[in-house]
Every structure is written in C-alpha cells, then in structure tokens.
Structure 1
Amino acid sequence: MQAHFEELRPAPCNGGQVTDPTRCESATSGQSAVLYIGLYLIALGAGGVRAALPALGADQFDPKDPEEAPKLSNFFNWFFFSLTTGAIVGVTLIVWVGENKGWDLAFGISALAVLLAVSVLILGKRFYRITAPAGSPFVRIAQVLVAAMRNRHLETPKPEDALYEKEGINGEILKRTNQFRFLDKAAVPSSANKEQAYNSTDPWRLCTTTQVEETKILIRMLPIILSTIFLNTCLAQLQTFTTQQGNTMDRELGEFKVPASSVPVLPLLFIFLMIPLYDRVFVPFARGITGVPSGVRHLQRIGVGLVLSAASMAVAAVVETRRRNLAIPYSVFWLGFQYCIFGAAEFLTVVGLMEFFYSESSAGMKALATGISMCSSSFGYFLSSVVVEVVNRLSGGWLESNNLNRVKLHYFYWLLAGLSVVNLGVYLVCASWYKYKEVEDQEEVEMVVA
C-alpha cells in the first residue's frame, strides 16, 4: 500500500533523482508509522514461521524408528533448500519487478505468495502428526531453578538414580548426567515419607529427573548457539558491503546489467546446487562410514561451517584489495568466490544448528529449541551494528566514508577473518565440553522408592 499510494510516502526528490538528500522532504510521522508497522509485521511473521515450521515438519518423523531417523536429517536439508529457492526468486524476479515495474507490484506478488502458502498449510492440516503440548518449557525450567534453590540444603541420595521420576515428558525419560549437579537438588524429595511426597508433589518444590535434565540440556546448548552468532555477523557485513562493492564494479553480463541488489543470488545458486549433492551423495556415503543417520555429527557439521566462514572473510579481504588496486572496473562476479564459500558455511552451520537443537532438546521443548537456534541470526545482525561502530571508533574511521575507495574495507574483512578464527576456537571448546543426551526406554524405567 505504501509503495502504491503517493500520500503514504515522502515526495520524490528532484523528480526521483536525489542530488542533495538534505533538501529532500522528510517523511511525516504517519508515513514513518506505516513503514515501521510493515517492517515489524514482517519480522513478527517471519519469526513465527521460522520457529514453528521446522519443528512441525520434523515432528512428522519418528526419531525412534530406524527407517525414519535418516529422513529427519533429510528434511532439514530440504527445508533449507526451499528457503534458498524462495530467496533466489526474491533477489532475481522480485527485485527485477520492483526496479522495472514498481515496488507496489513486487510487494503485491510477495503478499499473494504468502497467502498461497497459508492456504496450502491449511489444506494439509488433517494429514499432519501433531505432538501434544506438554505445558510451557519456560515454566518447567523456572520450576527446576526454584526447586533446586529451595532444596539446596538437602543431600542428593546415593545412588543418584533414586531421584524422583514418573512418566517423563511426552513419554520420554532422560538419563541423569553429572553436569550441573546442583540442579539435581530439584528432584530430591524433602519429605521423610517419599511415597507420600510422590503422590502429592508441588512442582515448585519437587521436579522429575527428566525435567531437571531438560533444563540441563538447554543450558548446555546455549554456549553452542552463542559461538555461532559471529557467523551471522559476518553474513550481515557481506550483505551490506557486497551491495556497495557491486555498485562500483563491472556488472555487465552480455547486454544485461546485473542489479547490485541481485549479487546475493550467487551464493544462493551455489547452495541450490550443493544441497542435493550433499543430501544424496555425501550423507549416504558418510552414513556408511560413521553409522550416524545425518552422515556426520551435528557439532562436526557446524564446526566445518565455521571454518568456511573464516575462510570466506579472508577471500573477501583479498578480493577487496584487488578491487581497490585495479584502475579499471573489476567484474562483480569475483564477489562470487567469497559468497559461495560463505554460502556453504551458512548451509552447514544453520541447518546443522537447527537439527542439533531439535534432536538434542527434550520431547517437550522441540519448538522452543528450534526457535532459539534461529536467534543466532537475529543476535548476529544486532552484533554487526555494534562491531562496525566499535571498529570505526578504534580505527579512526575505517568505514565512515560512503565512498568505498576511501574506506579500509579490506582491513575490516581481515579483522573479521581473525575474529572468526578466535570464535572457531571458542566453539571447539564448547563442542568438546558438550554431552549428547541419552534417552531411557519408558517401559524399562522403574521408580525407586526407598
């Protein structure tokens, strides 16, 4: 609506050609409100979809079934493939329509596509396997923390297997681990008559062992996601500066001039080709060697992605150095090297992170954990702004000028490469410390009441 109705946006400067932005008419408060309402609605909708849709799709597979376990890993690969396909359409067709036919038509096509997606989702509802809600994970975590604090003076019984347990969460019972032993206090009955305590439990005073382990799992996973945030910071920088670089480079492809905003299609096309090869060739080959349904462990996959992220920043620094030193325009397709390496890094890390959080979280925390994995992207983009501001202040203005030939972008890329290596080291420490969860068979578990 804002792109279509002139009343909802400021008048164009000099007939649409901005010569002096300071003399252009500013947006009114109402026009600004419409813009920000649209932006935040997009963020709200995308946040909800990206948190819920992967978990819904993964719930259609039974991880306990040996035949369906490999399909779960395939699903996350092809889910990212669908996101990549949509992004390719967005940065090519939609951008072309917007720049040549009008952004009102481009946004209108996008709106119709979303409506079509919602319709397909609704039509398939009766076929979905829906996991019954097990209550709020946030409440269960709070109960564990409060109960552990209240029971801090109680002694943990020996053996620790005698801690309180009953039906688990959604039929899943987690084995006790030795990490964060202070939380085990939440599963220690305070009554001398334990049987009476079991029959009349206050969840804010006594939690199940599975509930305690669920909280431990989330705490163990947090360092993993924190160590992947910087990858998204690098992605934000590539998306920002690559567009600026593209505007100064040779974008001719025969008689067609590639829009600078369409340069990100290069890594998307690389991922588009990479995912089928990875899923249909590499995963079966690696599965035959490792016996792991996903081919390699989730943490190994994420680690390789972080290595490629550091490599892409180094390549970006080399390409930018060459662009600055050449007297003639440099082909924009040289940016494809850094982008394709980073595309592989993003695919391995993001999909590995989604699958890791979904597989490792408890049965009652799948959607929450998948949503948390998506927070890595959000925090990475916020951190990006902080990094640029700090670097500008400490370096005396490496990135302050709008003229790309006057800034020290190549130095900035080398800095990001170095920080990525440091971040990789932090990740390796966190990954080596992490303990994968173990699930017990519900039928084989007996409650021990001393």
Structure 2
Amino acid sequence: MQEEELIDGKVDWRGRTAVRHKHGGMKVSLLVLGAFAFENMATLSLAVNLVSYFIGVMHFDLAGAANMVTNFAGVSYILSIVVAVIADTWIGRYKSVLISGFIECLGLVLLTIQAHRPNLKPALCNPTDITSVCEKVKGKQEAFLFIGLYLLAFGSAGLKACLPSHGADQFDERNPKEAKQMSSFFNGLLLALCIGGSVSLTFNVWIQDSKGWDWGFGVSAIAIACATILFASGLSLYRIHVAQKANAIIELLQVYTAAIRNINLPLPADSEDLYEIEQDKEAAMEIEFLPHRNTLRFLDKAAIKANDVQLEKQENPNPWKLCRVTQVENAKVILSMIPIFCCTIIMTLCLAQLQTFSVQQGFTMDRKITKNFHIPPASLPILPVAFLIIIIPFYDRICVPLLRKFTGIPTGITHLQRIGVGLVLSSISMAIAAIVEVKRKNVARDHNMLDAIPGLQPLPFSIFWLSFQYFVFGIADMFTYVGLLEFFYSQAPKGLKSTSTCFLWSSMALGYFLSSIMVQIVNRATKNHTASGGWLAGNNINRNHLNLFYLLLSVLSLINFFAYLFVSKMYKYRPQPQPQAPTVKGVDSQ
C-alpha cells in the first residue's frame, strides 16, 4: 500500500490533515486560476470603460467621471485588506471567496437593473446639441448607483484578496518541487488575468458599446457566477489553510508596543538571551520559529527578559510587555516591507491615466480597422494583453529556467529585481504617452480640428499610436505586479498570507486615490497659466495639456525608481522555511 505524505498546517474540507498526492498541487490550482480569469473577464472591461458609462449615461463631466472610476477602484483595493484580515483570522480563505463572489454578483445585478430601467437613471439627452440639458445623476438614482457600485467593489476586493493566497496555499514552500510550481502559479495569475481580460476587452466592451450597458453588466454578472461555481467545485481537492486562533495583526502591535515600553532597557550582548519559547518537535509543527537577525535592532527590546525570576513563575507572560523572538522578527519583516510598498504607488498612478484619459484620447482618433469595423477605445489594451498571453509562458518556461541556472534562484531573478524592472518600464511608458499626445494634438491643430466632437469627427490619426504606451506598461505589469504578489506572500508571516498579498492591492488603491488628488492639484496649480483653466480642465481634450501631465508622471516615476533602488538594497530577505522530513500517514515518525 502506498504511503501517504501529510502536509503540516493544511487540512482538507473535513478538517483532516491534507495529503500531498490527494490535495493541492498544480492541477488543483488551475481551478483558482480559472476563477481568477472569470473574475477579470467580469471586471477589466469596467475598469477601462466605466468612464464612458459615467459620462454618457450618468452625465458626469470628464474629470468627474475619471475621479469616479479611480475612487471606485481605490475603495475596492482598500476593502481587500478588510476581507483579508477576516479571512486570515476568522472564516478562512475558501469561505471568503464564496461570500465575496455572491456579493460581487449582487452588485452587478443591481447595476444591470439600473442600466435597464429608465426611471433609475437620468433622462436621455444629446450632448452635441447646445439646447439639450444633460442633468447629472442625483437623488435616489445616485444612491442606487453607489449601492450597486460599491457592492461590486467589496465583492471584487474579496476575490482579489483571497484567490491568490488560496491558490498559493496549494503548494508547500518546504518542498523544492512545489516551491518552483508556486512561482509558476504566480506567473499563471497574470496569464489568467490576461486571458480573462482579453475576452473582457473585446466581447464585453463590444456588448457594452453595441448592445447597451444593461447587457454589459449582465454578462459580467454571469462571469462572476461562473467564477464562484468553478471555485466551489474544487472543495474536496483543496489544501485549506486553517484560520489562525491568534490575530497576527494584534501580535505585530504587541511587538511595537512592547518595544516602546522597554525603550530604556539595554539590549543584551548575546541574542540568545532574548525571550523565545522552547522549540521542541511538537511545537515546531504548530508554531512558527524564526532565527534572530541583526536588523531593526530597536524592535529587539520587545523580547528583553527584564525579570527572569518573575518570568519563570509566569507560564504566559504579558504579550504587550514581552514578545517572542519569532514574533519580533515577523514585525521586522512587515516594517521593512513598507518602503517597498510605498515605492509601488506611483506605478498605479500611471496605470490610472491609461484607464481614463488614454481612453478619452482614443475617442478623438481614427478607430477604423476595416471599412465596417471600428475598434472601441476601451478595447485598446487588448494589444499588450495579447502580447502578454504569449510572453508569460515564454518567460515562465524558458527565461526563468535559464536564469535559474545562472543565479541559482528558483524564480530566476529575485522578487525585488523583478519589481525594479517594472518600475523603470512604467516611467518609459509615460514618456511615450507624452510624445504620442504631442503628435495627436499637432494633427488636430494642423487640420483645424481642435474643437472636433469626439467620436463624430475623428482625427486623421490612428488609435494604434496609443498601443505603444499600453504595450510597454503591459510588460511592466508582468514584472512589477506579479513580483509584488510573490514577494509579499513569500515574506509574510503564516497568519498574514492573505493580508500580505493585499499590500499589492493597497498600493494600487493609494495609487488610484493619488490620481484623483493629482488631477485636482494639477488643475489648481495650472488654472492661471492655461486658457482652459488647467492642464486637465474641461471636456475638450484637444485643448488640454495632457502631454505635460504625462511628462510630469514620467519624471515622478523615474525619481520613484531611484528611491526604490535605495530602499531595496537596504531590505534583507526573511529566512525561508527549510525542507522537513515528510510526515507519513500510518508510520511512527520516531
């Protein structure tokens, strides 16, 4: 009879210890990747086309619509932290995904109903007719819009928070083979995003523009339902992470509090004198142990044993006054990741412009592919997405193994090196965007079309010029965002795996919020220097100064990259779990 190797710390759906060849692994993670693909099929078209919905149906102005989109995206990513904490410390990741899928589907159903029923949205008007008054959505209609929109935001936040970490839970970092498979899984997440996104940017956008937004939201609701059902079908095959009894965030706060309380105590000369519970074989299976490192030494004060006699009498010392070395090391890891986190915010600020202003650029340009077919501006990102569908398997199956031979690193290059490459490319993408915008405005000026009506009077300038900035930024996505997911998951403590992957979504949220603030600051700072009342003021993009805004973002991104180089060199990777002797079912380990 074949011996069954148990996986410590993971259980099956009945609560029994998971078995390596029965639960988890690469094949099972495909269900998670499939669900992630459906989720992005539902939402990516909204990220790039909602600005058109807010302008055309809800009658916001350009800047207001752009801020609505970035605020919606920002709230969604911020809420992912809330769901992740609940998943890590209370209900678990599997249940969190199911609940989030239901909430997201409900939000899309409400938006479908509003888009279908005339009494739930503003009256139709003709924006090209000066005698027509387009009233912005307000009152009960606006309340209905926000309820549906932010139910969608909360559900999407939950799926983004828990799907990556649940998928990574299907692998054992202590097993060399599965550690390599985990790296492939994170690359597969971006591939799933691209496959789902390619459908979203073509079929979904076409539905939204040609059949109406009620059909568009309806198709997205069906996609989320499919994602939830597909994910739920793997219940009996998953390795399920058990929610931690101790709150990992509280444990971090205990370290910082204890370090402040003990600030006047001298550090011992020998780190062995710091407090740690006895590490025996049984405890090692249940509790995480990390060796002491000589970084951020001021936090070591949280583990100083001030009174050994009193400590011996206490089986459970006050955790707000005395913390384990492992607990302190986890706090060091989280604190040292914050500068890396901050350096990725600017990249999302750039991404927000490609999802808003670049789409509006596309409306002014020649979108003709054939005589009878015009590409929707919101579908333009399909070009880099299609390229990534090809390049990601090439990178994962050819580049990574080749780099692995030279570096000896399972992921080919380090997580921080991968992130840095993406940050450089984002700066280049914004520089290209500025150059293309200058050329587009020159065409409008040369043909006396500065006041041309977008969509009705296209410039003799192909929309495919915008593909260059999307193309470069798409490659930046592959390096930075996937690198961040893998970096945060691999470095985080056991009890904060879902929460740690939300660092990526949180940096994106702050980037979107910063975009809204940046647009307002730029308009106020430049209102007395431009005829339009600001670089980005008004609805006539031909008379705006979007090229200068893109150039500003390129310079900020470059400065941000140099700051990243400094903080990344200061970062010290946490010790990775060592391979352990397998626990075999039915065999005495002694």
Q: What TM-score does the superposition give when structure 1 sets the normalisation length? A: 0.93
| Identical amino acids, percent of aligned pairs | 45
After TM superposition, give the deviation of residue 270 of structure 1 in Å. 2.1
Name the amino acid aligned to 1:8.
Answer: L
Distance in 2 between residues matched to 1:7 and 1:437, nearest whole Å = 57
Counterpart of 1:203 (choices 319, 326, 329) is: 319
Q: How many residues align?
A: 442
**How far is 1:158 from its partner?**
2.7
Separation of aligned partners in 2, 1:278 and 1:21: 56
Q: Residues 198, 221 of structure 1: CA spacing in aligned structure 2 closer, same or farther, 3 A cutoff?
A: farther
Q: Does 1:54 align with 2:185?
A: no
Aligned to 2:487: 356
Counterparts of 1:177-216 in structure 2 under 5 Å? 177-193=293-309, 196=312, 199-216=315-332
Counterpart for residue 41 of structure 1? 151
Q: Runs of 4 or more off by more than 4 Å in structure 1? A: 167-170, 439-444
How far apart are residue 169 of structure 1 and its match? 9.2
**Quick one: distance in 2 between partners of 1:164 and 1:431?**
30
Report the TM-score, using the length of structure 2 for normalisation: 0.72
SS in 1 for 2:276: coil
| 1:2-401 aligned within 5 A | 2-13=114-125, 19-20=129-130, 23-134=133-244, 135-166=246-277, 167=283, 170-193=286-309, 196=312, 199-254=315-370, 255-326=372-443, 327=446, 329-395=460-526, 396=529, 397-401=534-538
Q: Quote how far apart the aligned CAs of 1:92 are.
A: 1.2
Aligned partner letter, 1:435: K
- Quick one: which amino acid aligns to residue 329 of structure 1? P
Q: Which is further off, 68-77 or 239-248? A: 239-248
**Secondary structure of 2:240 counterpart:** coil
**Residues 284-323 of structure 1: CA distance to partner in whole angstroms, max 9, x if unpaired?**
1111111111110000000000111111111111111222
| Gap runs ≥5 in structure 1 | 445-450
User: Which residue number in structure 1 is paired with residue 280 of structure 2?
Assistant: none
Q: Which residue of 1 aligns with 2:565?
A: 428
Distance 2:230 2:424 in 1: 38
Shift of 1:194: 6.4
Per-residue CA distance 1:108-132 (angstroms, 9 max, x = gap) = 1211111121112222122111222
Indicate how the Cα distance of structure 1 residues 204 and 442 shifts in structure 2: closer, same or farther if over 3 A, else same. Answer: farther
The range that moved more, 196-205 or 370-379, is 196-205
2:548 aligned counterpart, secondary structure = helix
Does the residue aligned with 1:67 lie in a helix, a strand or coil? helix
- On the 8 A contact 1:91/1:261 being kept in 2, the answer is yes
Aligned partner of 1:448 in structure 2 is: none
Are the counterparts in 2 of residues 175 and 440 from structure 1 also a CA contact under 8 Å?
Answer: no
Deviation at 1:378, TM superposition (A): 0.7
**Superposed displacement of residue 39, structure 1:** 1.0
CA distance in 1: counterparts of 2:383 and 2:254, whole angstroms = 48
Question: Following the alignment from structure 1 to structure 2, what is the Cα–Cα distance between the partners of residues 68 and 443?
Answer: 13
> Which region of structure 1 is more displaced relative to structure 2, 292-301 or 178-187?
178-187
Instruction: Report the equivalent of 1:447.
Output: none
Higher mean C-alpha deviation, range 30-39 or range 259-268: 259-268
Q: Which amino acid aligns with 1:288?
A: K
Q: Which moved more, 1:27-36 or 1:154-163?
A: 154-163
Query: Residues 399 and 27 from structure 1, CA distance in 2 versus in 1: closer, same or farther, beyond 3 angstroms?
Result: closer
1:133 to partner: Cα distance: 2.5
| Separation (CA, whole Å) in 1 of partners of 2:205 and 2:163 | 26
Decide whether aligned partners of structure 1 residues 28 and 391 sit closer, same or farther in structure 2, where only a CA change above 3 A counts.
closer
Q: CA RMSD in A?
A: 2.1
Q: CA deviation at 1:87?
A: 1.8
Superposition deviation, residue 30 in structure 1: 1.3
Question: SS of the residue aligned with 2:356?
Answer: helix
The change in CA–CA distance for 1:330 and 1:170 in structure 2 (over 3 A counts) is farther
Q: Which amino acid aligns with 1:24?
A: C
Q: Could you say which residue in structure 2 is the equivalent of 1:405? A: 542
**Residues 21 and 149 of structure 1: CA distance in aligned 2, closer, same or farther (over 3 Å):** farther
The answer as to whether partners of 1:268 and 1:343 remain within 8 angstroms in 2 is yes
Does the 8 A contact of 2:343 with 2:563 survive in 1?
yes
Q: CA deviation at 1:350?
A: 0.4
- CA gap of 1:440–1:56, structure 2 versus 1, over 3 A, is closer
| 1:439 to 1:332, Cα distance in 2 relative to 1, 3 A | closer
